[in-house]
Amino acid sequence: MSTPDHDPWVPPPWEPPIDGTEAEHLTGALGRMRATLRWKADGLDEAGLRHRIPSSALSLGGLLLHLAMAEDYYLTTKLRGEVLVEPWRSLGHDGTDEWEFATDAFTADETYAVFDEAVARNTRRIEDALAEGGLDLVAHVDDGNGNHARLRRLLVDLLEEYSRHTGHADLLREAVDGRVGEDPPEDWVPVWLASGS
């Protein structure tokens, strides 16, 4: 008796592993949240990225800028103790906490590029940090009593940041054009993966 041929399911490139190491699961979950957030904001013009609902100052464009900056902050300032300067100074960041939610200075293409470039460079930073010391790599940031966070904690915190704001993006995107859904279509590819970064 023959059985029909079935192509095995090939997971999308952002899907975390079914059975992997702790580092693979953390970076895989972060990759899925990055892709989901980016898809929620994908394909909009400036008006769509700037759209706000009456009860909030958040916008999809603001979330992209905020999470791009969060990536750099966690993986330069908190991890390495480096001052967060570029590319943010050149982009006009004025040092305030709400700049990314208040600015409307960027085109849609520029907004997407800021986010996509941050993901690409911070993916490399994570890879370098894991190669250097694994998840137990001691970070620069401490609790004020000399107890330093580990890379593991920074990745969990960054994942939490994405998770919270992806929920916001769900509501904002639905308000813009009705797009809903938990995951991107399987044939959608984030820019940083399409470019081989």
pLDDT digits (tens, 9 = 90+) for 89-112: 999 998 888 899 988 899 999 999
Q: Is residue 4 part of a domain?
A: no
For the residues 46-71, what does the mean pLDDT come to?
96
Instruction: Determine the Cα angle at 175 with ends 44 and 37, to 5°.
Output: 55
Tokens of residue 86, six digits? 């570029």
Question: Is pLDDT above 80 for 164?
Answer: yes
What is the pTM assigned to this prediction? Answer: 0.90
Q: Is residue 3 part of a domain?
A: no
- 23 Cα distance to chain centroid: 17
In sequence order, the 6+-apart residues with CB closer than 8 A to the CB of 14 are 28, 31, 32, 34, 35, 36, 184, 190, 193
What's 58's domain CATH number? 1.20.120.450
For the residues 15-28, what does the mean pLDDT come to?
90
Nearest by Cα to 45 from 188, 177, 181: 177
- Give the confidence band of 43 by pLDDT, cuts at 50, 70, 90: very high
Q: Is residue 164 part of a domain?
A: yes
For residues 171 and 55, what is the distance between their CA atoms, to the nearest angstrom?
12
Total number of domains in the chain: 1
Q: Is residue 9 part of a domain?
A: no
Question: Is pLDDT above 60 for 2?
Answer: no
What does the pLDDT read at residue 186?
A: 78
For residues 161 and 153, what is the distance between their CA atoms, to the nearest angstrom?
12
For the residues 6-15, what does the mean pLDDT come to?
72
- Give the confidence band of 6 by pLDDT, cuts at 50, 70, 90: low
Q: Is residue 50 part of a domain?
A: yes
- Beta-carbon count within 10 A of 168 CB: 19
The SS3 call for residue 78 is helix
Give the chain's mean pLDDT: 91
What does the pLDDT read at residue 195?
A: 62
What does the pLDDT read at residue 17?
A: 82
Q: Is residue 175 part of a domain?
A: yes
Q: Is residue 122 part of a domain?
A: yes
For the residues 130-150, what does the mean pLDDT come to?
96
Which residue range forms the structural domain that includes residue 120?
A: 22-194
Q: Is residue 79 part of a domain?
A: yes
- Give the confidence band of 30 by pLDDT, cuts at 50, 70, 90: very high
